[in-house]
Copies of this chain bind each other. A is one copy, B any other.
Amino acid sequence: MNITQFIQKLDSLKFDMFQKDFLLTWEKTRDEIDAVFAVADALRTLRDNNVSARIFDSGLAVSLFRDNSTRTRFSFSSAANLLGLAVQDLDEGKSQIAHGETVRETANMVSFMSDVIGIRDDMYIGKGNTYMREVAQAVQQGFEEGVLPRRPTLVNLQCDIDHPTQSMADMLHIIHHFGGVENLKGKKIAMTWAYSPSYGKPLSVPQGIVGLMTRFGMEVSLAHPEGYNIMSDVEKVAAKNAAENGGKFSKTYSMAEAFADADIVYPKSWAPYEAMEKRTVLYGNGDDAGIKALEKELLAQNANHKDWECTEELMKTTKDGKALYMHCLPADITGVSCKEGEVAASVFDRYRTDTYREAGFKPYIIAAMMFLSTCKDPQATLKMLAYKKLPRLI
């Protein structure tokens, strides 16, 4: 076990993350992003060596999911448990979009003894991230007014804009796969839309990917059929990132163009941004008929693009025919989970283990975000854990 290298890495970085939320990757400096990676790797090293990473003797991690999610729920629970926190779910019901007084009050009521709050709220454009900021403001105020002994910090577990725990886990997977962040310069990643027979998949994954991957000097190619735009604000972030970091951000309506010579491909379905906006209005008006009509329309629109599939033929066009295939899972696999889907079964089969490995970084990314927002001196704490070497399982 070599925790020392991760501590040295942290020593070389400037970060100010104590008592801070993690809501959007582009609100964090590159050093702060790297600090999360270093801590994630350190925590993983500890655990893989059966060394306890428990920093809390007691404390709660509040989870607020407005969408079913086995994967994210387990990642959050695992991260909390690794650090010594118990998880308490806050069940507000899916449909109910709380606001104003209710948010302020609830945020305080669940925080008297809470250290971390994880929120997943990705259903409605313009709502999820806004809600998180309302919660953050409420607990900040509660802390300043002496209501809360400590300000619990927020982790965005997916919102309408970003999915930072996913994109950061994906990036750490890429870093490990390519043998170090220094090897990413000039690598091409194709974030492309792919056909799915299901409807209304969130935009936060492609947005998170182009918002983050453009910071590492990579060439990020965003591809989708006409009409499947992502948020234009996020595209601006991506363009700015690329310009500042010596990378590229390009857009195309051709899957083939994106795949050509790519080092990494990330083919995944999503709903058009404009459609998600419409849906949010329809939900707001309780217009069930309108929602059904929109769903029908979107499925029909999707069906025009069944050729957007990650096939063996397309894979052959990537760098040496061996691009790394990525997916946040579950993937719509042609002939397996659906008749026609995002990816050919033979392609997915070859990369299945890689996608599992990719997902395996998420609990550590979440734990690192919790760690950095609750530890005043992360290096000292890591040093102590490594020195004490308390076994996780005796």
Chain A residues at the B interface, C-beta cutoff of 8 Å: 47-48, 52-60, 62, 70-71, 73-75, 77-78, 81-84, 86-88, 90-92, 100-102, 104-106, 108-110, 112-115, 142, 145-149, 329-330, 333, 336-337, 352-353, 356-357, 359-360, 362-363, 374-375, 381, 384, 390-394
Q: A356's contact among B77, B108, B374, by CB below 8 Å, is which?
A: B108
Q: List 19 A-B contacts (CB under 8 A).
A: A54-B57, A54-B58, A57-B391, A57-B394, A60-B74, A70-B109, A70-B110, A74-B88, A74-B110, A75-B112, A78-B112, A78-B113, A100-B336, A101-B336, A108-B356, A109-B329, A113-B363, A145-B353, A384-B394
Task: Enumerate chain B residues within 8 angstroms of A87, measured Cβ to Cβ.
Answer: 86, 88
Task: Enumerate chain B residues within 8 angstroms of A52, measured Cβ to Cβ.
Answer: 57-58
**Contact at A357–B147, with CB atoms within 8 Å?**
yes
**Contact at A109–B71, with CB atoms within 8 Å?**
yes
Task: Enumerate chain B residues within 8 angstroms of A56, measured Cβ to Cβ.
Answer: 392-394
Q: How far is the CA of A74 from the CA of B59 in the complex (A)?
A: 12
Q: A48's contact among B73, B149, B330, by CB below 8 Å, is which?
A: B149
**Contact at A102–B363, with CB atoms within 8 Å?**
no
With A47-B113, A74-B88, A81-B113 in contact, do A356 and B54 touch (Cβ < 8 Å)? no
Task: Enumerate chain B residues within 8 angstroms of A60, measured Cβ to Cβ.
Answer: 74, 77-78, 81
Task: Enumerate chain B residues within 8 angstroms of A84, measured Cβ to Cβ.
Answer: 58
With A74-B110, A147-B353 in contact, do A55 and B330 touch (Cβ < 8 Å)? no
With A58-B53, A100-B336, A330-B105 in contact, do A112 and B147 touch (Cβ < 8 Å)? no
Task: Enumerate chain B residues within 8 angstroms of A53, measured Cβ to Cβ.
Answer: 58
Number of copies of chain A assembled together: 3
> Residue of B at shortest CB range from A394?
B55
> Residue of B at shortest CB range from A49?
B149
Task: Enumerate chain B residues within 8 angstroms of A110, measured Cβ to Cβ.
Answer: 70, 74
Count chain B CB atoms within 10 A of each CB in A105, A108, A356 and give the residue with the most.
A356
**Contact at A88–B77, with CB atoms within 8 Å?**
yes
With A106-B70, A356-B142 in contact, do A101 and B59 touch (Cβ < 8 Å)? no
Q: How far is the CA of A109 from the CA of B72 in the complex (A)?
A: 9
With A47-B113, A81-B86, A102-B330 in contact, do A57 and B393 touch (Cβ < 8 Å)? yes
State the Cβ distance, A351 to closest chain B Cβ, in Å: 12
> Residue of B at shortest CB range from A86?
B81
State the Cβ distance, A326 to closest chain B Cβ, in Å: 15
With A109-B329, A360-B147 in contact, do A82 and B58 touch (Cβ < 8 Å)? yes
**Contact at A360–B55, with CB atoms within 8 Å?**
no
State the Cβ distance, A166 to closest chain B Cβ, in Å: 13
> Residue of B at shortest CB range from A47?
B149
**Contact at A359–B109, with CB atoms within 8 Å?**
yes
With A90-B70, A357-B146 in contact, do A81 and B59 touch (Cβ < 8 Å)? yes
**Contact at B88–A86, with CB atoms within 8 Å?**
no
> Residue of B at shortest CB range from A80?
B86
> Residue of B at shortest CB range from A381?
B394
Task: Enumerate chain B residues within 8 angstroms of A70, measured Cβ to Cβ.
Answer: 90-92, 106, 109-110
Q: How far is the CA of A60 from the CA of B353 in the complex (A)?
A: 22
Task: Enumerate chain B residues within 8 angstroms of A352, measured Cβ to Cβ.
Answer: 104
Give the top 9 A-B pairs by smallest Cβ distance, nearest first.
A78-B113, A52-B57, A147-B356, A77-B88, A145-B353, A74-B110, A108-B356, A57-B392, A81-B86
Task: Enumerate chain B residues within 8 angstroms of A381, measured Cβ to Cβ.
Answer: 394
**Contact at A57–B357, with CB atoms within 8 Å?**
no
